């Protein structure tokens, strides 16, 4: 067989396999269609979301400045799909002239930045800063927001050099009007539009499908497959589907073996690789990035022993406690409550019900660990300074992350049921984006 024919055969087989894989995941779009969707969503957010957020936070001009490869996290969410980074120094200006007038969206750049029209005439202002100052003077804003923040790295994207240059270039009369845009930046990052929520349910479904495929005989051969093998199976599957993951997945086991102390593991010390055996309780932590939105999920599967047809009753009951703690937490969601308030109330109710739990839930959206109210930390079950004091707003998404510790009599040990599912708070009610796991899966999968 010639090299040419061999290569042709390989390409043919790859193409057939690739089409088959895409058929398993029909919700995943082509790269071109993804760009179209991202830009449509961004235009909707600029036109229908941002003006209201600026008025809510009392900022009539928002200036975002970044240089290439050192982008402000907020700016990255505002770049068109065709831009993979900023260029040279990119300056974005948003000005709200008031009710009844459209938001002005400008780029002090040599060319348009997607929907932001270039507002720098090199023939008039050879210097970029002069062009920006002229925009400020002619609009005469009352409050100029820039991205600085003590508690939120995602809202602290204006680097020191750019801040110094901006303040040096602004006329003295405008320098006193410069304020932190922290709450506006958080609002932009955390608030989900209707268009995004229609997509987010599908993104959660894709993420669930990948998790569940990995927790099955499609990826696991008991006695052979290791937890590290399964981690890399997830990484490979994500790459094959042409999407991204925002963190390296983890897979660990809990089992009856008294030498297995994985239930005592901490988040700072992950388990070493182990061979997956019958009787193991598997735990996976996994998330994807798709259409600029992220998922974060933790689910469980039980590897059936020879002769077993279902998950042992004690493990099923332990899992129900995990679901109950989820219910307790989401029942605390109410607009205006802080993350610390929701944490304290949920833990108090769990204690009343005899549930030994730990809560460390977080916003999710443009980032995996996104901006918004932190509801506990894995190493802090009391007040979380700063981020825990931020209030809950409507139209925000959260990753409900927590665990319960439950004693398993036949194992003579305590295990942790570690759950994480993504959901949405509309201002009145909380719902999981694509449902939640309510029963432990089995390997092989029960038919």
pLDDT, one tens digit per residue, over 363-401 is 999 999 999 999 999 999 999 999 999 999 999 999 999
The per-residue pLDDT for range 262-317, each reduced to its tens digit, is 544 445 555 689 999 999 999 999 999 999 999 999 999 999 999 999 999 999 99
Q: What does R_g of the chain's alpha carbons equal in angstroms?
A: 25
Q: Are 62 and 177 in contact (CB under 8 A)?
A: no
To the nearest 10 degrees (0 to 180), the angle between helices 31-44 and 194-214 is: 140
Q: Are 284 and 214 in contact (CB under 8 A)?
A: yes
Q: Is cis: bond before 220, omega within 30 of 0? A: no
pLDDT at 259 over 90: no
Range 25-37 average pLDDT: 92
Q: Are 143 and 132 in contact (CB under 8 A)?
A: no
The per-residue pLDDT for range 182-199, each reduced to its tens digit, is 999 999 999 999 999 999
Contacts of 425 (CB under 8 A, 6+ apart): 333, 392, 394, 395, 396, 397, 398
Structure confidence at residue 14 (pLDDT):
43
Rounded CA separation 1/333 (Å): 66
The residue to which tokens 């609002």 are assigned: 187
The per-residue pLDDT for range 204-238, each reduced to its tens digit, is 999 999 999 999 999 999 999 999 999 999 999 99
pLDDT at 407 over 70: yes
Closest CA to 96 of 36, 153, 141, 32: 141
Range 2-7 average pLDDT: 52
Structure confidence at residue 24 (pLDDT):
87
Return the structure tokens found at 202: 């599908």
Domains of the chain (ranges, CATH numbers):
31-189 (3.40.350.10), 192-443 (3.90.230.10)
pTM (2 decimals)?
A: 0.90
Phi, psi (rounded to 5 degrees) for 190: -90, -25
Structure confidence at residue 16 (pLDDT):
53
The per-residue pLDDT for range 313-359, each reduced to its tens digit, is 999 999 999 999 999 999 999 999 999 999 999 999 999 999 999 99
Range 111-125 average pLDDT: 87
pLDDT at 85 over 70: yes
Rounded CA separation 16/410 (Å): 48
The residue to which tokens 């039980």 are assigned: 302
Burial class (CB in 10 A: 0-12, 13-18, 19+), 423: buried
Rounded CA separation 140/26 (Å): 50
The residue to which tokens 């958080």 are assigned: 186
What are the strands of the beta sheet with 61-67, ordered from one edge? 117-118, 104-107, 89-95, 61-67, 144-146, 178-180
Structure confidence at residue 17 (pLDDT):
47
The residue to which tokens 């809202």 are assigned: 155
Q: Is 172 helix (H, G, I), strand (E, B) or coil?
A: helix
């Amino acid at each position: 067989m010639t090299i040419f024919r061999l290569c042709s055969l390989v390409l043919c087989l790859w193409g057939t396999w690739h089409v088959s894989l895409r058929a398993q995941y029909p919700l995943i779009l082509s790269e071109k269609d993804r760009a179209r969707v991202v830009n449509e969503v961004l235009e909707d957010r600029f036109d229908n979301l941002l003006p209201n957020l600026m008025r809510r936070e009392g900022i009539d001009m928002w200036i975002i400045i970044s240089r290439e490869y050192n982008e402000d996290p907020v700016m990255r969410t505002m770049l068109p799909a065709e831009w993979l980074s900023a260029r040279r120094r990119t300056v974005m200006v948003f000005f709200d002239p008031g009710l009844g007038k459209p938001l002005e969206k400008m780029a002090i750049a040599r060319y348009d930045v997607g929907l932001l029209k270039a507002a720098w005439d090199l023939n008039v202002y050879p210097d970029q800063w002069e062009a920006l100052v002229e925009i400020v003077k002619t609009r005469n804003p009352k409050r100029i927001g820039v991205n600085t923040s003590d508690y939120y790295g995602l809202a602290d994207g204006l680097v020191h050099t750019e801040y110094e240059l901006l303040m040096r270039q602004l006329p003295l009369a405008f320098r006193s009007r410069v304020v932190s845009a922290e709450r506006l930046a958080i609002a932009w990052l955390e608030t989900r539009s209707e268009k995004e929520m229609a997509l987010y349910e599908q993104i959660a479904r894709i993420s669930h499908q990948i998790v569940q495929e990995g927790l099955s005989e499609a990826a696991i051969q008991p006695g052979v497959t290791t937890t590290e093998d399964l981690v890399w199976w997830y990484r490979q599957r994500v790459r094959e589907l042409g999407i991204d993951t925002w963190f390296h997945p983890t897979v660990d086991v809990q089992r009856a073996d008294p030498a297995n102390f994985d239930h005592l593991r901490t988040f700072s010390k992950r388990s070493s690789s182990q061979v997956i055996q019958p009787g193991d309780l598997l735990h996976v932590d996994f998330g994807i990035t798709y259409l600029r939105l992220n998922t974060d999920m933790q689910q469980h599967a039980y590897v059936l022993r020879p002769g077993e047809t279902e998950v042992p009753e004690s493990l099923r009951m332990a899992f129900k406690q995990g679901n109950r703690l989820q219910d307790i937490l989401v029942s605390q969601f109410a607009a205006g409550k802080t993350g610390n308030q929701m944490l304290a109330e949920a833990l108090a109710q769990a204690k009343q019900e005899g549930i030994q739990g730990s809560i460390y839930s977080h916003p999710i959206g443009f980032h995996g660990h996104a901006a918004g109210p932190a509801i506990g930390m894995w190493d802090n079950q009391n007040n979380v300074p700063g981020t825990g004091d931020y209030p809950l707003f409507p139209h925000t998404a959260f990753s409900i992350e927590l665990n319960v510790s439950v004693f398993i009599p036949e194992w003579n040990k305590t295990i942790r049921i570690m759950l994480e599912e993504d959901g949405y708070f509309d201002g009145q009610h909380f719902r999981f984006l694509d449902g939640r796991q309510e029963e432990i899966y089995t390997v092989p999968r029960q038919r």
